[in-house]
Amino acid sequence: MKKIDPPGQAQAPKNDWKVINGWAMFDWANSAFALVITVAIFPPYFLGVTDDVVTILGIELSNSTLFSFCISSAYLMIVLVSPWLSGIADAGGRKMFFLKFFTTLGSFGCLSLLWFNGMSTLWVGTIGFILAMVGFAGGLVFYNSYLPDIATEDLYDRVSARGFAFGYVGSILLLIINLSMILNPDFFGLPSEGTLPARISFLMVGLWWLGFAQVAFRRLPKDRRKGSEKLSVMARQGWQEIRKVYRALAHQTQVKRFLGSFFCYSMGVQTILYLASIFAEKELAFGTSELIYVVLILQVVAIGGAYLFATLSERKGNIFSLATMLVTWVLICLFAYFVQDKFQFYCIAAAVGMVMGGIQSLSRSTYSKLLPAGTPDTTSYFSFYDVLEKLAIVSGTLVFGLAELITGDIRNSMLVLGSFFVVSLILLLRIQVARPSIA
């Protein structure tokens, strides 16, 4: 069958490692936000500089609840607008435009956190964090959709793993620099008292993100605009693209099964990543420095995990590799329920890191393999993938919290997460990775 090139994107040879490394550098750039801002430094900083109870629009909330609502708000925004924007990107050939837009939005959101130093600037912290989250989550759908454009199917697993590996290495490097600055401010000529070292780390994340993303912008295929330049016309074309993909998915049983499995295990994976530190602090009395060690263990081991399961998938297939990881996730949830000391939790963190890198990498490449051959509107297809992941984050964290609220024990929440992985495994084992032909 004749190869069909994406009509809204400039043609470029596939499997060009200069282009692939440029694509992976975007992961290097934006993963610093995922690690430093959402996991390691900003959450405890936010709780430290704000009152235990804050009043928003006349409603009293704990500062931790407000932080959770900021995350939920950002992801809900992306869920609402991402399909529309990705449809416009495909219909109007504007994939790179939106990748640049969300990168700029997110990095400037990080830069604004430099001025967040207490309750008087709470509005700066909340709005800046939400904008950064929207920029991060919004850019991922366009970044992911480049994978079928730059690599052939036989390299999807390895290229996807390369992106995650770049991201883990880059984010760890910046985190080490930031932690050195926070723990030893005198060495960097900064005051030992106050919040300036932490706020400079937020500034550095924004500059790191925006700066290294330029490598990807230069090397990835450029936009080739098509159709009308009017936003209203492109919006209509965008909705038509979304409807077309929705109708196409209705006849693609394997893709639907994968997306169902992906949604279920993403509820577990993403919830564990966001709330593992809360579990460790609440159940095992982990301190801030100990939590940072946990984060570093997760990131370092995840690098090897991404490549390990990419290699396993090449030998045994994607479904076998994903199923192996899902069984491991079930065991992690069971062990977490019984964990009693910090050493045991460090071991669990290492296991999480191993399957975290692998499952994120292989999920992206498996979905790429299931798309119809020659699919021109990859962004719209990846929008469904991205929206499901965002909904999974909202759903997973909500169920986790409700389980603790109803039972009074956060350990029971881990068992609920384990059930998500069991359901996803059942759905996954019914999938055959056989790439269909586009109609």
**Percent of the chain with pLDDT strictly greater than 70:** 83
Q: Taking Cα atoms as reference points, which of 146, 142, 150 lies closest to residue 16?
A: 150
- What is the per-residue pLDDT for 426? 93
| Max avg pLDDT among 15-19, 76-80, 150-154, 198-202 | 198-202
Q: What is the mean predicted confidence (pLDDT) over 304-316?
A: 82
Residue 49's pLDDT is: 87
Say yes or no to pLDDT of 386 above 90: no
State the Cα–Cα distance between residues 320 and 309, nearest whole angstrom. 10
For residues 147 and 135, is the Cβ–Cβ distance under 8 A? no
Residues 411, 336 contacting (CB under 8 angstroms): yes
pLDDT at residue number 228: 53
Average pLDDT over residues 338-360: 85
CA distances from 357 to 163, 228, 299 (A): 10, 41, 8
Q: Which residues contact 414 (CB under 8 A, 6 or more apart)?
A: 279, 333, 336, 337
**Given phi > 0 = left and psi -120 to 50 = alpha, else beta, which region is 285?**
left
Of the two residues 103 and 410, the one the predictor is more confident about is: 103
User: Which homologous superfamily does the CATH classification assign to the domain defined by 17-220+229-428?
Assistant: MFS general substrate transporter like domains (1.20.1250.20)
Exposure string over 115-137, b if 16+ CB within 10 A, otherwise e:
ebbeeeebebbbebbbbbbbbbb
Minimum mean pLDDT range among 30-44, 204-218, 396-410: 396-410
Which residues have CB under 8 Å from 381's CB, separation 6+?
145, 245, 367, 371, 375
Please state the rounded mean pLDDT for residues 104-132. 93
Tell me the mean pLDDT in the region 131-152: 85
Give 323-375 as a DSSP string: HHHHHHHHHHHHHHHH--SHHHHHHHHHHHHHHHHHHHHHHHHHHHHHSPBT-
Spatial distance between the Cα atoms of 296 and 279, rounded to a whole number of angstroms: 17
More confident residue, 424 or 401: 424
Cα–Cα distance measured from residue 299 to residue 8, given in angstroms and rounded to the nearest whole number: 36
Q: What is the pLDDT of residue 281?
A: 66
The domain ranges of the chain are: 17-220+229-428
Q: What is the pLDDT of residue 322?
A: 92
> Between these two residues, 40 and 106, which has the higher pLDDT value?
106
Highest-pLDDT range among 65-69, 334-338, 371-375: 334-338
Look-up: residue for tokens 């000529």? Answer: 189
50 phi/psi in degrees, rounded to 5 = -115, 160
Supply the pLDDT for residue 247. 79
Beta bridge partners of 53: 62
- Asked whether the predicted pLDDT for residue 188 surpasses 50, the reply is yes
When pLDDT is averaged across residues 365-373 and rounded to a whole number, the result is 80
pLDDT for residue 439 is more than 50: no
Quickly state the pLDDT bin for 6 (edges 50, 70, 90): very low
* Mean pLDDT computed over 347-360: 84
Output the average pLDDT for the chain: 81
Confidence of residue 81 (pLDDT cuts 50, 70, 90): confident
